[in-house]
A and B are shown apart, each in its own frame.
Chain A
Amino acid sequence: MSSTHHPAYVHHFENLGEQKEAATFGMWVFIAQEILFFGGLFGAYAVYRNLHPEAFYYGSHHLNIPLGAFNTAVLICSSLTMALGVHAAALGKRTQIVGWLLATVFLGSVFLGIKVVEYKEKFDHHLVPGTSFDASQLHMESIEDPALLAKAHKAAQIYYSLYFSMTGLHALHMIIGIPIILWIAARAWLGQFGPEYHSPVEIVGLYWHFVDIVWIFLFPLLYLIPKPH
C-alpha cells in the first residue's frame, strides 16, 4: 500500500512522512508551551525557596521519601513501557502495542494511587495550606533564632502550596493522559496502526515522556531539600 493511499492519509500533505513530521512538530510546539507552563511554577519555587530556605527544608522533611522514590521508579517504568509500545507500533505488532499501552496505564494508576496515600498523610497532619494548617507538625524547634523561626512557621504554607500545586498539576496531566492512552490502545486493538502509520501512538508517547520529565525534576526539588547552611 502506498503512503498516499493509506486510510489515515489526509490530502493536504505530500505523503504520510510529511504528515507524521507535521504531527511531531505540532506536539513539540505544544510541549514547549507546557515547559513554560510548568516553568512558571518552577520559577515561583526557586524564588520562594531562595527567600525561605528553612521553611522549605523543614517542609520537605515531612514528605515520604521512600514513597516519592518508589513513585519515581514507577514513572520511569511507565516511560519504558510507553517507549516499547511505540516500538511495537513501528513494527506493526498489534497485540504488543495494546499490551504495552495497558501496562503504561497500570503504572500511571499505581503512581496516582500512591500520590493519594501521600496527600491523605498531609491532610491528616494538617499540612494542607489554609486555616487548619499546623506548622508545629514540622518540628522546627531546632531553629534557634526566634525571628527566623517565626518567619519559617509562616513560610511553611508557601512550601506546601507549591508542593500541592506542582504535584497536583503534574497528577492532572497524568489523569488527562491515561484516558488518551486507553483511547489509543483501543484504536491499536482495531488495527489502525502499523509501520507506515502510527503517529498517534508516538504523539501520546511524547506527552507521557514529558510528564515523566516533569516528575524527574519535582522529585529532588520537593522531596530532597538539603539542610541550608
Chain B
Amino acid sequence: MTETAAVPAENHDSHEDHAHPHVVPVRTYILVFLALMFGTAITVGASYVDFGHSYLNNIVALAIAFSKAALVVLFFMHVKYSSKLTQLAVGSGFAFLVILFFFVFADYLTRGWLGTPGS
C-alpha cells in the first residue's frame, strides 16, 4: 500500500465508506456561483416590476430565493452527492419548517373567518 492512500485497499468491503467522496469539479462551483449572482440581480430587478398584484412580486422573489437555496444545498453543501441518510436529514429540516408554517397560518389566516360569539 502506498502512502498516497488514494483508495485504501481495506475499504472495498464497505459500501458505506465515503472517505474518498466524489470531488466536485471547480467548474461546477463557478457555474453555481454565477447562477446565484444572476439570481440576485433578477431578484432586485423583479422587485421594481409591476406584475399587477403585489403578491405576484412576493411569489417571484420567493421562487428565486428557493431556487438559489436549492443550488447552495445541492452543490455547495454537496447534498446531491451525499448519502441517503444525509439527504433524509436535510429533507426533514425543511419538512418541519413546512409543518411550522402550516400550523401558524392555520391559526392566523383563519381568525377572522367565523367572527367572535357575543360581540
Contact = CB atoms under 8 A, between A and B. Distances in A.
Chain B contact residues, majority secondary structure: helix
A43 B100 contact: yes
B5 A2 contact: yes
A35 B24 CA distance: 26
B96 interface: yes
Interface string A92-108: 00000000000000000
Contacts of B115: none
Interface in A40-93: 40, 42-43, 46-47, 50, 53, 65, 69, 72-73, 76-77, 79-80, 82-84, 87, 90-91
Nearest to A206: B77
Nearest to A34: B93
A213 B44 contact: no
A219 interface: yes
Contact of A35 (B61, B62, B93): B93
Interface in B87-117: 89-90, 92-94, 96-97, 100-101, 104-105, 108-109
B72 A212 contact: yes
B53 to A, nearest CB: 7
Contacts of A36: 93, 96-97, 100
B34 to A, nearest CB: 10
Nearest to B79: A28
A76 B65 contact: no
Contacts of A3: 5, 8, 10-11, 17, 19
Contact of A229 (B24, B29, B53, B86): B53
Contacts of B14: 14-15, 17-18
Interface in B4-31: 5-6, 8-11, 14, 16-21, 23-24, 26, 29-30
Interface of A: 1-4, 14-18, 20-21, 24-25, 28-29, 31-33, 35-36, 39-40, 42-43, 46-47, 50, 53, 65, 69, 72-73, 76-77, 79-80, 82-84, 87, 90-91, 195-197, 202, 205-206, 209-210, 212-213, 216-217, 219-221, 224, 226-229
16 contacts: A3-B8, A14-B14, A17-B17, A17-B19, A20-B21, A21-B83, A28-B90, A36-B96, A40-B100, A72-B40, A195-B20, A197-B19, A206-B77, A209-B72, A226-B57, A229-B53
Interface of B: 1, 3, 5-6, 8-11, 14, 16-21, 23-24, 26, 29-30, 32-33, 36-37, 40, 43-44, 47, 53-54, 57-58, 61-62, 64-65, 68-69, 72-73, 75-78, 82-83, 85-86, 89-90, 92-94, 96-97, 100-101, 104-105, 108-109
Complex A-B, nearest 9 residue pairs according to Cβ-Cβ distance, in ascending order: A32-B93, A17-B17, A224-B47, A28-B89, A226-B57, A17-B19, A220-B61, A226-B54, A80-B33
